[in-house]
Amino acid sequence: MLDTEALPGLTRAERVRAIDGWLSGLLDDAVAGTPPPRPRRGGPPPRTGTEGIALVAVGSLGRRELPPHGDLDLVLVHDGRPEIAAVADALWYPVWDAGLRLDHSVRSVADAVAVAGADVKAGLGLLDARLVAGDAELASRLRTATLGSWRQTAAKLLPALRDLRRERARQLGELAFLLEPDLKEAYGGLREAQVLRAVAAAQLADEPSEEVEQAYAFLLDVRDELRRRTGRSGDVLVRQEQRPVAEALGLADEDALLREVSLAGRRLAFVADETWRRVEAALVRRPRGRYRRVRREPLAEGVVRQGDEVVLAQGAKPAADPGLLLRAAAAAARADLLLSPYTLKVLAVHGQPVPEPWPAEVRWSFLRLLASGRSAVGVLEQLDQEGLLTRLLPEWDRVRSLPQRHPWHRFTVDRHLVEAAAAAAELTRDVDRPDLLLVSALLHDIGKGWPGDHSEVGEPIAATIATRMGFAPADVATIATLVRHHLLLPATATRRDIDDPATIERVAETIGSDAAVLHLLHALAQADGAATSASAWSPWKAHLVAALVARVAGRLGGLPAGEAEPVLHPVTPQVTSPVPGIPGAAGLVTVGIEDVADGQQVTIGAPDRPGLLSTCAGVLALNQLDVRAAKITVEDGYATSVFAVRPRFGRAPVPEILADGVRAALEGSLPLAQRLRQREADYRQDSGRTVPPRISWHNGEVSGDATGIVEVRAGDRTGLLYRLTAAIAGEGLDVTSARIETLGGDAVDCFYVCNPSGSPVDPDQRRRVDAALAAATGAAVGADTPV
């Protein structure tokens, strides 16, 4: 007789052995107590014993994972014995009498295969079929037949299984980020590992790794303890049971339990996502005919796109290139792709530590990764799961999967930080320093990994990280200030009278009366709220914070402080190329190149003419040189343009090629616009961010020949500077000087413009310039385009 009251206190293995032994005895008794029918005259004698009958366990019992208060999933398999119905009745009733829940069926092998081929749940369950008692050869035939059927019908059943899991994820959420997770059915729960095994059985993916099995085993342990505590079959880890479950598993407290559950769930979800990508690719039917190689498109130095993922180029050397990791990650995010699993493994095994402080190239790649917005979330999760993110930011380990008990928070601390950075990428046009906004968004809650007020604790931690990243001391101080005061604006707006002059004065004094910091804090508050929940950043709260910022900005004098001009200096020309029709030195195109810490500095001298800056920028873009900063001066009809550039694919600029290109463009033999359109089509990398550009005019801040300053903030892309300056020239304005800055994934370009006639830029002309600039960025001026 089975002692059902003792079952919950047994280990899983002991529980399965007890159930198996009891069921084996029940089958023997059922067969012995059911007399066989009389044989037909001349027919074979009736079979006795369990020949042609097998009791098979599926589900958790079949996997030897039966939890306390779990259901028994049993299939009575037969090969046509006529008394099978009576045997089944004699078998099932004692199970019900024992008070156990039973899911049962009676099938022939053919029946079982037919059901498994039509019902994805039934097919999934039969993959776990295990003989409990009876005819072993019959059970073996069942397993062989159902496995063969599963492999044959995988193309039909797996899409249904994928859709089923997606729907469950939509209904129940992701295990890693729930405060009361469903351990079985939430995405990343126990069901994920079972599905992974089924996909492996279909020979469409590898068997689950040891890490996956460990995560799965931990969730089984949590579920067993939860059911022991509650005395029922529920799988939702409710809050009131978290502390006793944690104690039973030897964990410090409920937060430690939730963190371990989150880590296990994230691993299972991550592997499941990658597996489904592989399955979907494998199930796509190849067109008939000749096999075509997958095209490899270059994205950055040492990084190429291959199919729907990013891989290392031939000849890439991770062991000798510390910037390769972030360069590859940024390229993947910018192209809205993911790194291939093999590439991740190679970078993890062979990649070298990044020097400290980070080289400018590494910092730049990291900023471009963050500036990719939503596309960066998946790539950062890849780095995190492979242990690469903590190599770059050791402090990150303190917040990995750290739960947040406030019901407003949708995510663990680390995911919240990544989501905040993604939200900040949509706000970079609103601030002077997008790079500082992105980094502070990623670090604003880093202090939650340590005891104490997370804002105060996070300030020195953020300063340490920013210093390691290689930011200048003044920028480090700004990032630290943003982390320290990231709650200042929402807390003040919702808890103080924003019309009280004392409130305005307090905010101004807190931020050091720096308007630039004020606007950075405003954008950071918006990103933080958006990454938290709709409740945390309601329209009402957003209005209050915006009103507070407007009042403080008025107290400080309005707009945020401008950026210092880039440190650019002309270098000695190395080559010259004469422009036909212009004699002497005035007709020479000169090019000088100097290596600097973060790329090269290119000086181009040429005869001044309308659109010259656009021509030079177009030639640089055509030679795959990303412009970081530029300035132009004109003296006696000869213009000198200085550009800070970085080669997109690691090839240093060649002065002879640049000089010939500028000369050819000036004389009209080089169709710049056409060539650049083709170049952008060949190397498209951006993920399609739809944030409109910001175009603004500052007429009161000009001096000298300029009559206005037009500032354009837009997503950086190939040839953007060329298109912007060409748009201005096309509307009849001259660019007398320019300041071009690219921070992260955004370009912030200021053009000092004037009419050749000397008259001010009138409103109609301004509107035409606005429309031309918006079109040059790929957008159009409309109701939702800030200008």
Tens of pLDDT, residue by residue over 562-585, are: 333 445 678 888 888 887 777 777
pLDDT(746) > 70: yes
Would you say how long the chain is, in residues?
787
Least confident residue range of 158-167, 515-524, 658-667, 675-684 = 675-684
pLDDT at 324: 96
Helix (H), strand (E) at residue 299:
strand 296-300
Nearest to 687 by CA among 336, 167, 229, 281: 336
What are the C-alpha distances in Å from 229 to residues 37, 204, 251, 260, 295?
49, 39, 16, 19, 56
pLDDT category at 647 given cuts 50, 70, 90 is confident
pLDDT at 660: 93
Q: Where in the chain do CATH 3.30.460.10 domains reside?
A: 7-37+48-153
Q: What are 193-225's pLDDT values in tens digits?
A: 999 999 999 888 889 999 999 999 999 999 999
pLDDT at 293: 65
Average the pLDDT over 30-41 and give the result: 79
The DSSP result for 590-638, as a single string, is EEEEEEETTEEEEEEEEE--TTHHHHHHHHHHHTTEEEEEEEEEEETTE
CATH of 173-283, one of 3.30.300.30, 3.40.50.880, 3.40.50.1370, 1.20.120.330: 1.20.120.330
Q: Where in the chain do CATH 3.30.70.260 domains reside?
A: 563-673, 685-787
Angle, helices 210-230 vs 254-283, to 10°: value is 130
The arrangement of secondary structure in 685-787, i.e. its CATH architecture, is 2-Layer Sandwich (3.30)
Q: Which residue has the higher pLDDT, 181 or 537?
A: 181
pLDDT at 567: 56
pLDDT(461) > 90: yes
pLDDT(558) > 70: no
Please report, rounded to a whole number, the percentage of residues in the chain having pLDDT higher than 90. Answer: 60
pLDDT(699) > 80: no
pLDDT at 690: 61
Sign of CA dihedral 532, 536, 540, 542: negative
pLDDT(355) > 50: yes
Q: Where in the chain do CATH 1.20.120.330 domains reside?
A: 173-283
Q: Which residue has the higher pLDDT, 58 or 706?
A: 58
pLDDT at 575: 86
Domain 563-673 has CATH 3.30.70.260: yes
pLDDT category at 652 given cuts 50, 70, 90 is confident
Residue whose pair of structure tokens reads 């036909």 in the numeric block: 580
Average the pLDDT over 468-473 and give the result: 97
Burial 87-119 (b: 16+ CB within 10 A, else e): bbebbbebbeeeebeeeebbbbbeebbebbbee
Nearest to 427 by CA among 331, 518, 525: 525
Average the pLDDT over 447-476 and give the result: 97
Q: Which residue has the higher pLDDT, 557 or 304?
A: 304
Opening angle at CA 391, ends 388 and 394, nearest 5 = 125
pLDDT at 303: 95
Domain 7-37+48-153 in CATH: superfamily?
Answer: Beta Polymerase, domain 2 (3.30.460.10)
